[in-house]
Amino acid sequence: MQKDAHPENNAQSVLQMSVDFAGTFLFAVEGATAAVLSELDFFGVMVLGFTTALVGGVVRDLLIGAVPPRSIRDWRFPVVAFTGAGVVFFLHRYVERIPSPVMVTLDAACLGLFAVAGAEKALAYQINPFIATLMGTITAVGGGTVRDLLLAQVPSVLHSDVYATCALLGSVALVVSRAMGLHRTPSAVLGGVVCFLLRVVSAWQHWSLPTAFTT
């Protein structure tokens, strides 16, 4: 709990919080959309919105010892996630009309945001930099992984395109630039931009990772 008094957290600006809430909202929208397409009921839509947006961060917090996790201590995160899910439940016809490139671009931005925030929090909790890059990746793709499990599907990050790899490389960029002495904000921006650009280009170019049989 005393970690909240950490100078880095005190310096966390209104801008930072707004960006976090926007990312939570968008990931909740994506999770709730998957729930609607799987014909889950209202409760299921809420659960998948919450899960997709917040479970990655919850797992990270449990692993690094930041207990209770932020989404359990700060009621605003669940409220934002449920709001995003509720919008999808009642307005999914309109949400579905958002052009795919717009959603991919917004999603890439959130991916970078979550990866950077996760890696940074792990570093603030004295986690080894190598492990911190894994924590960034879990923050970014953990929610979507559990969402897929709840739909009884093999998580898409395990077999298709380079989604998780972008989050990993964004986390690596942040950790390396911090290790090289760069300050907190430019490191975070660099990590986020690396993840965002890689994701947008890879989605546009349909990049995918090799499987063992293709090597």
Cα dist from 205 to 194, 198, 199, whole Å: 16, 10, 10
> Which structure tokens are listed for 30?
């994506």
**Residue 6 contacts its own copies per CB under 8 A:** no
* Among the residue ranges 19-27, 36-44, 112-120, 189-197, the one whose residues contact its own copies (CB under 8 A): 36-44
Q: In whole angstroms, what is the distance from residue 24 CA to residue 189 CA? A: 18
Tell me which residue of 70, 88, 71 sits closest to 31, measured CA to CA: 88
Residues 74-93 contacting its own copies, CB under 8 A: 75, 78-79, 88-90, 92
The label of the residue with tokens 């760069």 reads: 182
Element (H, E) at 89: helix 76-95
Q: What are phi and psi of 126, to 5 degrees?
A: 65, 25
For its own copies, give the closer residue by CB, 15 or 152.
Answer: 152
- Which amino acid is located at 184 in the chain? R
Residue ranges of E strands in 44-120: none
Instruction: Name the token pair of 213.
Output: 């049989």
- Nearer to its own copies among residue 35 and residue 188 (C-beta): 35
Residue 11 or 149: which CB sits closer to its own copies?
149
> Nearest-CA neighbor of 191 among 101, 114, 105?
114
Asked if residue 2 binds its own copies (CB under 8 A), the reply is no
Of 107-115, 144-152, 183-191, 192-200, the window that binds its own copies (rule: CB under 8 A) is: 144-152
- In this complex, which beta carbon is closest to its own copies, that of residue 16 or of residue 38? 38
**Of the candidate residues 36, 117, 173, 190, the single one contacting its own copies (CB under 8 A):** 36
Output the smallest distance, CB 112 to its own copies, in A.
17
Q: Is 115 in the site for its own copies (CB under 8 A)?
A: no
Interface ranges with its own copies (CB under 8 A): 35-36, 38-45, 47-48, 58, 62-65, 67-69, 72-73, 75, 78-79, 88-90, 92, 125, 127-128, 130-131, 134-135, 145, 149-155, 157-160, 162, 164-165, 208-213, 215
